[in-house]
A and B are shown apart, each in its own frame.
Chain A
C-alpha cells in the first residue's frame, strides 16, 4: 500500500489546524505543526519514492473520489504520480520542509506567525495537488491555489500599502496567464472529450488530426499559462515586486516551486508540444528572451532580493529554453538543482537582511563575510552552483542544457550563443552581488546579533537547512541527469559529456565571468566611477534597472487607459448606466407595489386570506 493521499493531506491538516485556531496556539506549537506537517510529508515522499523505484510500475495511483459529473464531463479527485511528478513532489516537500524549518527562526519576531505558517501549509498543499492531480482540472485547482497563496504571502506584511500593491500586481498579471490556461483546457476538452492527462496524452500521440493547427493553438495557450506563472516575458513584471513577501516565501514560492509550475505544465503536456514545431520554437524563444533580458536587469539592481528574483527569472528561462529545444530531462534536471541552490541563496540573503535591519540595498552592506560567516559560506556555495562552476549541481544541469541546445536545436548557433552570453552574465551579476554584500568596506551599521534571537545564523534552525541545501546544491548534480532522463524514456535527448571544443567553452564561460566580474567590481584596475559617469552606460543602466521598461509599457498601454475608462468622471450617465438605472427603477417600483400590501393591519391580512380562499375554491369549482 502506498500512502499517496497522505502526502497532500498532511499540509492540508496543518493548514486547517492553524486556520481554525486563528493564531491562538503558542508559537512553539505553531512551528511544530507548520514545519512538522511538511516534514512528515517529506518523509512520506521519501518512502513513496523508495517504493516507486523498487516497484515495476511506472505510475502510482491513489483511490479516487468523484468531484463532479456533468453529462459526460467526469472529474475525479485522484492522485497520479509518475517519475516526473515524483521529482516535483520531492522538491516541494523536501526543499519546502527545509524552508519551513528555517522560517520558524526567520519569522520568530514577526506578527502573524501562525498566519504565516497557515498560508505556507496551504501553499504546499495546493502545489502538491498541482503536480499530483491526474486530470487537468485538478491541476488547475492547484494552479489557482498556489496563485492565491502567492498573493496572500506577498502581501503578508499587509500594513505596508506598497506590499499590498505588489501582491495585487502578482495576482492580476498571473491571472492573464491563467485565462490562457483555462481556454487551453476548454480546447483540450473539446478535442479529447476528457480532461484526464493520460487520456489527453494518448490522444495526442495517436489520434491528433493532421495538420494539427488546433494542437498548436492549444500548446500556445498552455505556454501562455506557463509564462504567467513562471514569470517569463511578456508576463514577467510581477516577480521582482513579489519580493515584498518574507524571504522564506520568496525562497519557496518565487524560486523553488511555484514559478517552476509552468515548466512542469509544459513537461507534463509533452506529447502535445512534440507535435508542434511552432510551439516548441515559441517555448525556446520565450525562455531565451527572458534569459537575456533578466540577466541584464540583474546586473544593475541594487536590491539583493531583486537580483535573486531576476536571476530566478533567467534560470527559469533556461528551463523553458531546454524544453523548447527538446532537452526535456535536462530542463527538469535544472529545475531540481535550481530549486536547491536558489532556495539556499534566498535563505542566506534572508539572514543577511535580518542582520542588517531589513536593509536590502547591497550598496549599504559590504564587508559582511567576517561578521556573518555562515550565511557567507551558504551564499558562496549557492553562487557557485548558480554560475555553474564545475562539480556543482548547476554545472551539470546547465551544461546539459547548453550541449543539447547545440546538438538539437534548429537554430543551434544563435540559440547557443545567446544562452552562453547569458551564462556569462549570470557569473557577472553573481560576482557583483557577492562582492557588494560580503567584501569591501562596511557601508552601514549592522544589527547587533544576539545569541538568543531565534533567527541568529548560528542557531540550529538556520544551520541545518543551510547545510542540507548546500550539500544538495553541490551533490544534487552528481547523480547525473540520468536520474531525470529516465523520466522521458527515449523521447528525451541524451547528452553526454564529450570533451569537444563546445563542451570546453561551456566549461570555461563561468570562469571567464567570474574573472571579468572580479576585475569590474572588486579590483582597482577598472575605474568604476568613470563607467558610471559615462552617458551611454548611465542610460543603459537606467533602462536595464527598470527591467527593460516593461512596467512602464504596461502602465501606459493597459493600466492608464483602464483607469481612465473606469473613472466616474468619464463614464457617468452613459448608456450602460441607463440599463442599471432601469433595473433600479423596476426594483423600486415593485417594491412600492408590494409594500402596499404590507399595511400592518391584521384584519386586512385576514380579509385577503379569506379572499384568496375564495379564489382557490372558485378555481377548483370552475376548472
Chain B
C-alpha cells in the first residue's frame, strides 16, 4: 500500500525547523509558565516530526519508535511540570516564572 506521493525530505525538515523555532521563540518571550510549557510541547513535536520524516525516507519503523519515546518523555515532563505549576500558583500567587528566582546565586 502506498500513497505514491513524493515529498522532498528537506521540506519536511524545514517545517520541523520552523515549528521548533516558533516553540523556542515562545519559550523566550513568555513569562507565564503555562505558555512556556506549551511552547515546549511544540518544540518536542517538531523533533518528533523530524524523526518520523527521516524514518519514512527509508521506510523503516525506527523513526516512529523514536517518536514514541519522545511521547513518553513529553508525558512524563508534563506530569511533573504541571505539578510544579500548581505549586507555583499556590506559593507565589502568580504564574510569573520570573518571580520564582530563589536560586539566584
Contact = CB atoms under 8 A, between A and B. Distances in A.
Direct contact of A and B (CB under 8 A): yes
Interface of A: 594-603, 606-607, 610
B28 to A, nearest CB: 6
A469 B100 CA distance: 77
Given A602-B36, A603-B27, 19 more contacts: A594-B105, A595-B105, A596-B105, A599-B101, A599-B105, A600-B103, A600-B104, A601-B97, A601-B98, A602-B100, A603-B28, A603-B31, A603-B97, A603-B98, A606-B28, A606-B36, A607-B28, A610-B24, A610-B27
B10 interface: no
Contacts of A598: 103-105
B46 to A, nearest CB: 13
B101 A600 contact: yes
Contacts of B24: 606, 610
Nearest to B31: A603
Nearest to B103: A600
B28 A600 contact: no
Contacts of B28: 603, 606-607, 610
B93 interface: no
30 contacts: A595-B105, A596-B105, A597-B105, A598-B103, A598-B105, A599-B101, A599-B104, A599-B105, A600-B100, A600-B101, A600-B102, A600-B103, A600-B104, A601-B97, A601-B98, A601-B101, A602-B33, A602-B100, A603-B28, A603-B31, A603-B36, A603-B97, A603-B98, A606-B24, A606-B27, A606-B36, A607-B28, A610-B24, A610-B27, A610-B28
Nearest to B24: A610
A331 B29 CA distance: 89
A503 to B, nearest CB: 86
A606 B104 CA distance: 15
Interface in B1-48: 24, 27-28, 31, 33, 36
A599 to B, nearest CB: 6
Interface in B56-105: 97-98, 100-105
Contacts of A594: 105
B12 to A, nearest CB: 19
A596 B102 CA distance: 14
Nearest to B27: A606
Interface of A, secondary structure class, is helix
Nearest to A606: B27
A601 B28 CA distance: 11
A55 to B, nearest CB: 67
A606 B98 CA distance: 12
Contacts of A596: 105
A288 B27 CA distance: 87
A111 to B, nearest CB: 49
A377 to B, nearest CB: 77
Contacts of A606: 24, 27-28, 36
Contacts of B103: 598, 600
Contacts of A607: 28
Contacts of A597: 105
Nearest to A602: B97
A320 to B, nearest CB: 64
A441 to B, nearest CB: 79
A257 B33 CA distance: 73
Nearest to A610: B24
A540 to B, nearest CB: 72
Give the top 9 A-B pairs by smallest Cβ distance, nearest first.
A598-B105, A600-B101, A595-B105, A600-B104, A600-B103, A602-B97, A606-B27, A610-B24, A601-B101
Contacts of A599: 101, 104-105
A601 B33 CA distance: 12
Contacts of B104: 598-601
Contacts of B36: 602-603, 606
Contacts of B101: 599-601
Contacts of A603: 27-28, 31, 36, 97-98
A607 B24 CA distance: 9
A606 B103 CA distance: 15
Point out which of B27, B104, B105 has the most chain A C-beta atoms below 10 A from its C-beta: B105
A610 B97 CA distance: 18
A597 B105 CA distance: 8
Contacts of A600: 100-105
Contacts of B31: 603
Point out which of A595, A597, A601 has the most chain B C-beta atoms below 10 A from its C-beta: A601
Contacts of A602: 33, 36, 97-98, 100
A600 B104 CA distance: 4
Nearest to A607: B28
Contacts of B102: 600
Contacts of A610: 24, 27-28
A283 to B, nearest CB: 64
Nearest to B25: A610
A610 to B, nearest CB: 5
Contacts of B97: 601-603
B33 to A, nearest CB: 8
A600 B102 CA distance: 6
A249 to B, nearest CB: 53
A587 to B, nearest CB: 15
A503 B89 CA distance: 101
A256 to B, nearest CB: 61
B94 to A, nearest CB: 14
A599 B100 CA distance: 10
A598 B97 CA distance: 15
A594 B105 CA distance: 9
Nearest to B102: A600
A598 to B, nearest CB: 3
A603 B35 CA distance: 12
A413 B100 CA distance: 92
B31 to A, nearest CB: 7
B24 to A, nearest CB: 5
